[in-house]
């Protein structure tokens, strides 16, 4: 009898404790990886006068306006770049890496090749606040543009007007290179800006047999250097005029810049270029949000958040949402009052160019005190 009474009393005490207890249990999080790359691409500012002028003169906001998403707008911009001129075989003046100068010459009959399409597309993308970099393949030159929705550097070929998808997911340059190493397309499709699709064949992967990127795109601030007919590399500048440009198809021309190649052997895959076997070195993630939380000691059921923008040079503000709320502007430090039960809190970067980064989120379970607990509201209050 005494044992029963003791157990009953213990059970009652535990029940009372549980009823009065207030606690928060983390259930998981979805936070992107950060700063996984040892290398960063030096980016041109979208505010560079030449880029601002390009955006206005070419009416690029109108070009991308029909796109509903960032990715659709990027594809529309790629199609626009491809339509600016038609390449033909033969020699042409090799201009500086300046989109406005390339377009001026092309519209006067100077037909650039893949590199010129890449420069025009990349600088148009940067003028809209997108992040972009150059991809160098054997005999071909193209770009990659950071996709906030797909959270990767998507390979974009403005000369062929293509990107590549597998099961509806666009592919990065590294993914294309690895497919080439396997020698198997594995369901990859080439997708054009008009929506056309064609399955890749094994032979289509040969162009991706080696893979390099250029570790900068700021060629307006620091002009690219060219080695012409064995002479020392010198800057290609618009100020020199067309007569000072080398002629592709006549001169022996080499571009001297900061390349990084992928290779897993002891010898560089491209002679004379630095290389790395770490694939993460090609994965520097952009527009990420670091989300750190802690339970408030003074206010049970309230969690404090600390937000930090990672690799977001165009950062404008944070946006935060919790269960039942829309995205709202937020300071970097804030307190969130939890609802009883399951809660999800998400935060993302907003840039001054209108783009939003991938959300970081945390899932929490909140059990409030059930007895003698003060009534309290839930939601997103202000900063702390």
DSSP string, 215-240: SB--TTTS--EEEETTPPPEE--GGG
User: Mind listing the domains of the chain with CATH numbers?
Assistant: 17-33+286-367 (2.60.40.10), 49-282 (3.10.620)
| Best-predicted range by mean pLDDT (10-14, 175-179, 263-267) | 175-179
Q: Which CA distances in Å does 275 have to 100, 210, 217, 226?
A: 32, 11, 19, 21
- 152: Cβ contacts below 8 Å, ≥ 6 apart: 146, 170, 172, 283
Q: Is the pLDDT of residue 19 over 70?
A: no
Q: Is the pLDDT of residue 5 over 60?
A: no
Q: What is the structure's pLDDT at 243?
A: 87
* 380 confidence band (pLDDT: 50, 70, 90): low
If one counts every other C-beta atom within 10 angstroms of the C-beta of residue 94, the result is 25
Q: What is the structure's pLDDT at 74?
A: 98
The pTM assigned to this predicted structure is: 0.90
Whole-number Å distance between alpha carbons of 223 and 216: 11
């Amino acid at each position: 009898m005494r044992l029963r009474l003791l157990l009953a009393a213990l059970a009652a005490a535990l029940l009372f404790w549980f009823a009065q207890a207030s606690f928060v249990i983390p259930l998981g999080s979805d936070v992107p990886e950060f700063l996984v790359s040892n290398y960063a691409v030096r980016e041109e500012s979208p505010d560079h006068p030449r880029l601002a002028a390009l955006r206005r003169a070419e009416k690029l906001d109108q070009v991308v306006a029909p796109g509903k998403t960032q990715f659709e707008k990027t594809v529309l911009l790629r199609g626009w770049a491809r339509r600016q001129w038609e390449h033909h075989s033969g020699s042409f003046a090799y201009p500086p890496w300046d989109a406005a100068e390339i377009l001026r010459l092309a519209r006067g009959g100077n037909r650039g090749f893949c590199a010129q399409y890449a420069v025009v597309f990349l600088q148009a993308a940067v003028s809209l606040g997108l992040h972009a970099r150059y991809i160098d393949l054997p005999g071909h030159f193209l770009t990659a543009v950071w996709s906030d929705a797909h959270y990767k550097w998507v390979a974009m070929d403005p000369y062929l007007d293509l990107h590549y998808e597998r099961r509806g997911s666009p592919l990065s340059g590294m993914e294309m290179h690895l497919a080439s190493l396997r020698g198997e397309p594995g369901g990859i499709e080439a997708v054009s800006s008009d929506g056309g699709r064609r399955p890749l064949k094994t032979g289509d992967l040969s162009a991706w047999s080696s893979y390099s990127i250029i570790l900068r795109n700021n060629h307006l601030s620091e002009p690219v250097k060219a080695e012409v007919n064995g002479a020392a590399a010198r800057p290609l500048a618009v100020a020199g005029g067309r007569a000072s440009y080398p002629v592709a198809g006549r001169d022996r021309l080499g571009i001297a810049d900061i390349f990084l190649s992928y290779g897993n052997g002891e010898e560089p895959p491209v002679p004379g270029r630095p290389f790395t076997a770490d694939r993460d070195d090609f994965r520097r993630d952009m527009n990420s949000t670091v989300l750190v939380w802690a339970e408030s000691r003074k206010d049970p059921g309230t969690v404090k958040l600390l937000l930090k923008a990672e690799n977001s040079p165009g950062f404008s503000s944070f946006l935060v949402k919790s269960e039942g709320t829309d995205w709202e502007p937020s300071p970097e430090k804030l307190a969130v009052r939890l609802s009883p039960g399951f809660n999800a809190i998400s935060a993302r970067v907003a840039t001054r160019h209108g783009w939003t980064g991938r959300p970081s989120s945390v899932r929490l379970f909140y059990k409030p005190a059930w007895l003698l607990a003060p009534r309290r509201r839930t939601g997103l209050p202000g900063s702390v």
